[in-house]
Structure 1
C-alpha cells in the first residue's frame, strides 16, 4: 500500500510541475526520462553500495578542512565576540564566504573553473539537454552553496535572461553545499545526505525542464567569461573577490534577519487569530503530502510537521527536531524524511538567493524575488521527488 501511494505521489509531482509549466509545448520529455532513470540508478548505487558513499564523504571531509582554515581568519578578527562554546550564525556560516570567494577568484584566475565548466558542463548538457551554464550552476551549487555560487557567475549575470535566472534559482535552492554537509551528517545518516545531494542535482534539472522549459537563443552567451581576469594583477583580483564575498555575506545576513523575523510574526499572528501557528497549520497540510511519499498514515502527521518546519524555517531546525525529539518512525520513513530535509528549499532561502545576487547585480536580484514563490515551489517538488525515489528503493 505504501509503495502504491509513493507511485501515486510520483505521478502527482509530475502533474503539479506540468500545471506550473510556463510553456508546456517546449517541454522535452526524453531528457527528463533519461535523468529520472539516472536518479533511480544512482540512488540504488549510493544506498546499496559503499563506493559512492566513500567518494562523497572524502569530498566532504576536504571541504570541511577548508572551512577550518576559513575560521582561522574569522577568529583572528572576531575572537572573543561570543561566549566560549558558542558563535553567531553570521560568523560561523556567513563570514567564511569571504574565504570561499577568494578561492573562487583564484580558481578563475588560473583558469581551473573555466576548464571545469568546459568538461563537466558539456557532459551534463548531453544528459539534461540544457545550456552549459545551467549545468555548471547545478554542480557549483552542490559544491559551493546558494550564496557562493553566484560569485562564480558574477561576470555572466548581466546577460542571463529572466528564464535562465529562474532555472538557476530552482537548481540552487534544490541543493546544499559541501561546506555544511558535515554538519548534516552529524544530525542524520551520511548515506541519506549523500543520496539527497546527488538526486537533488538531477531533480533540479528535471523539475526546471517541466516548470520552466525554454530553448537557448543561438545569440545567448553560454560560456564563463574569463578575459577580464587577465587584465588584473593577482592581488587586484584577490582583493576584488574578497570584497565581493563580504558584500554577499552582509547582504544575505540582512535578508535572513528580515525573513526569519517575518515568519515569526506570521506564526504569532496565526496563533492569535486561529489558535495555532502558521507552522503547525502547514504541518496538517503536509500530512497528506507525506502520505504520498509512501510514509504510513500513522506516521504522516509527524512527518508532515517536520517537512513543514523545514519549509517555514530551515533544514537545520527540522533536522535538530528529528534528532532530539521522540519520534516513532520506521527506517524507511526516516530515510524518506531525511532525504526531504536535505535542501535549501524554505521561505528564507528566497531572501538568501535574492540577497546573494543583489550584492552582485541588482536587476537580476529583482528577477529572483519576482519568481521567488515559484522557485520555492519547484525546489520543494525536487525534495519530494528525491524522497519518493529513496522510499521506493529502500
Structure 2
C-alpha cells in the first residue's frame, strides 16, 4: 500500500515539474519574441580611459586657438602651470587621475561655467570625482597667490617710461585701482546687503592693477552695496593688506578720494578724448584728467580680460560663498600666470579691440563741499604740480608742431 502511495506521489511530482517547465519555457519564448519585435540596437561598449585621453590630448596638443577656446589658455601656459604645481608639490598624480587631467577639468569648468555633471559626462568621471579634484586644484592654485599676485613695488613701470605722454609726469605712479562687481549667490536673509547698483546680488571686488595688466592686490568678499572707499579702508587696515610705498601712488576714480598714496581726477573738470583735436584740453586740469583716464583704463582692461577668460565670474554661481570668493582669487592668480607666459593671446587681443572700438563722451566729474574738505592738501599740491608741469610741456610741444 505504501509503495503505491509513493509511486503516485512521484508521478504527480513529475507531472507538476513538467508542467512548470513547460510554462517557464513558454514565458521565455514569449519574452524573446517581444524583445525581438522592439529590439533597440546598443552602441558597443566604449573604452572610457581611451576616450578621456584622446579628448585631453586633442585640447593640449591641438592648435593654440583651440586650446584657448577649451581651457582658456594656450598649451604653453598650461604646461607651465602644471610644471609649477608639480614642482611646488601642490598637485600630485593619482593612480587614476593625472595632474594634467586635474588641471584641464578645473580650467574647463571655470572657463565655461558648466555644471559638474556636464564635466563628468565629458571626461567619463563621476560628479563626486570631479568635485573632489576641483577642490584639490582650487586649493593648489590659491597657494600660488603670494608668488603671482605681488604688492606694488617702487620701480617705475616700463609702460610709463616708454611713453612721452606719461613720462616723467607719472614716474611715481605704480598702477591703477578700481572695483568690479561679480555675481554672488547668498542666502535670502543676506541678499539685501549684496544688492548694489548692479542687477541682482553681487560682491564688490577691489583690485590694484599694474600697467602690464597684472593684478598686484585683490580683495574679494565685500557685499555689492559696499562703497569703494569703505572697501579701500578695509584693505589698508588689514595686517597683510594693501601697502603703497612712500612717495608713490595709485590712480583711482573719484570714489576713492584724494588721500595719501591715491590720486583721483579733478572734480568739476571735463576731460576729452583727444589731446590734439578741435576740442583739445584747454587747461592743465583737463589735460591731467585726460591722461589720468587713459592710464586708469588699465584696470578696466584687466577686469575685461579676466571676465571674458573665466565665464564663471559672469554667471550665477552655485558654490558656497567662501568658494565663490576663492574662485575669484584663483582666477586672478591664473590671469597673472597667463600674462607672464602669453600676454597677448587671443582673449587679451579681443578685449583690447572691443575697448578701442567703444566711444566715450566728454565727462564732467562733480565734487561736493565735504569732498573738498576731505581732500589731502599735501597730495592736492602734488597733483597740481604734475598737472602744471605736464600742461606746460604740452603747450610747448604744441607750438613746436605748428
Smaller-chain TM-score range?
under 0.3
Higher strand share: 2
Higher helix share: 1
Which protein is bigger by CA-based radius of gyration?
2
Using structure 1 for the length normalisation, give the TM-score: 0.26
RCO comparison, higher one (Cα < 8 Å, 6+): 1
Using structure 2 for the length normalisation, give the TM-score: 0.25
